[in-house]
Amino acid sequence: MATAEIDPLLFLRQAIAAGTSVVPTATDAVDASETPLPQARFLQFAGATGDRTPVPIDAPTRFVSNDAPVDLRSIYFAWLNREVAIHEYNAAATRLNEELATVGSSATVHKFAFVERLDLITWLEGASEESEYIKAAGGAGTAGAAGAAAGSKTASGAAAPSSRAGRGALIDPRLAVIYSGERRTGDHNTVLRGIKPTDFSHVRKLAAPFMSKKLQGSASAVAVAGLDGKKPSASLPLNPKAARRPDPIILLSPSASSLLRTSNIKSFLEDGRYIPATDNNTGANLLNLNRTVKDIDPSRPLRFILVEGTEQFKPEHWNRVVAVFTTGQAWQFKSYKWNTPSELFKHVQGIYVGWRGDPVPQGVKDWGHRVLNCTIDKWTDPAVPGADVNRWRDREVAETIWKAIEHNMRQKGWKRDSGATLI
């Protein structure tokens, strides 16, 4: 298969889905032995018949970061380190860059921002079919050929998923062959215009009276706003381009005394059941969960990103923060955009979760109604006689927290296809 016909990003995703091996090698020979990543020049994808498909490890992919395509080595390295915390991933990438320089290579590993890394891993493992950072496949022939080839070369012998160009959905490789023979229908432009160019300039003359009335109405509204002493708002374009709705972010407390950490927050907010937090120093410090918010978008769930640290935050990420979990310790906010509690909780919903019957920290009391104060039953080992194993109150507390978050999101202007309008 020619290199131009290979989609490295799709090859890697299909290899992960099929459970086949991906071997870094120094040459493109099919019998080449595995080599450390700094010395590797190719990634070889195992096929069902024992053959391998070599792909240059420096090949660019459709994943775009800062308007530049990311190479296959960086994608593969991010997947290998998907389970580690963001600071450990950055340290490992720095070490790999040093090793690449030692062997005389000018290549470097791209360090993904935490949102980019989350989107990439979610897409590679098949949990998501879209990513704002991945460009669509170039053409039906290229993507179809790459999908069919990659799907037919799996070690399991079963049909591996393949990609239908322009649709982003994984399909059987045999269907990809059938789809390649489809007769392509035209889009709405070709249907309206046909095979001959049509001059619609006369429509402008017909629309001119209506446009002049609209402009006059806008001018009157601006004048009235000026008389009232209000600043006129900027007018929107007639056909604004629909933007992708951003994912809301929930910040967790990094304090070791916090009852909810990345190791147990998902089971609490999704299943309504508290389990003790474990030491997650070696685990990922961000995760995501889905929840349908009927008042914002009843047709599709929102994906919430939960993260403990703000090291990889960009300025625009703060517009997406919808809640902050706290233990009442102000040092948590030192690296935040709003680093004082009084300022922070004017913009973001605060949440404190403590044991039922224990005193509330003084900091939480001082911050007032802007911080939701929730208490849960103390944890007891189910093996202890008389222990409460039902924990039915946990779901009630979890729903109270979601109610506060969703109320805050509505106040901030979250809509079906847009994020917050008030910060």
DSSP track, 155-179: TTSSPPPEE-TTT--EE-HHHHHHH
pTM of the model: 0.46
CA gap 304, 387 in Å, rounded: 33
**Quick one: pLDDT at residue 94?**
92
Q: Which of 191, 187, 53, 68 is nearest to 133 (CA)?
A: 68
d(CA 421, CA 320): 10
Cβ-contact 38, 99 below 8 angstroms: yes
Residue 22's region, left for phi above 0, alpha for psi from -120 to 50, else beta, is beta
Fold of 249-412: Rossmann fold (3.40.50)
Domain with CATH 3.40.50.11990 in the chain: 249-412
Residue 249, classed as helix, strand or coil, is strand
Q: Give pLDDT, residue 288.
A: 87
The answer to whether 328 and 352 are in contact (CB under 8 A) is yes
In the block, tokens 């209000």 appear at 230
Exposed / middle / buried, residue 199 (Cβ in 10 Å: 0-12, 13-18, 19+):
exposed
pLDDT in tens, the chain (423 residues): 555 567 888 888 888 888 888 889 998 888 888 889 898 999 888 876 667 888 999 999 999 998 899 999 999 999 999 888 888 899 999 999 999 999 888 889 999 988 888 889 988 988 878 888 888 876 433 333 334 344 443 433 333 444 444 434 455 667 766 766 776 666 665 566 555 566 777 888 888 888 777 776 666 655 555 545 555 444 444 444 446 788 899 999 888 889 998 888 988 998 888 888 887 554 557 788 899 888 888 888 889 999 988 887 888 888 899 999 999 888 998 889 988 898 899 889 999 999 999 999 998 888 888 899 999 988 887 777 766 667 888 899 999 999 999 998 988 888 888 888 877
pLDDT of residue 185: 63
Handedness of CA 410, 413, 416, 418 (dihedral sign): negative
What pLDDT is stored for residue 122 in this prediction?
Answer: 87
Whether residue 269 contacts residue 289, with contact meaning beta carbons closer than 8 Å, is answered with yes
3-state secondary structure of 8: helix
Tell how many helices (H) and how many strands (E) occur in the chain: 12, 13
Nearest in space to 327 (alpha carbons), one of 413, 256, 258 = 258
Euclidean distance between CA atoms 374 and 268, whole angstroms: 13
Q: Compute the distance between CA of residue 77 and CA of residue 93 in angstroms, rounded to an integer.
A: 8
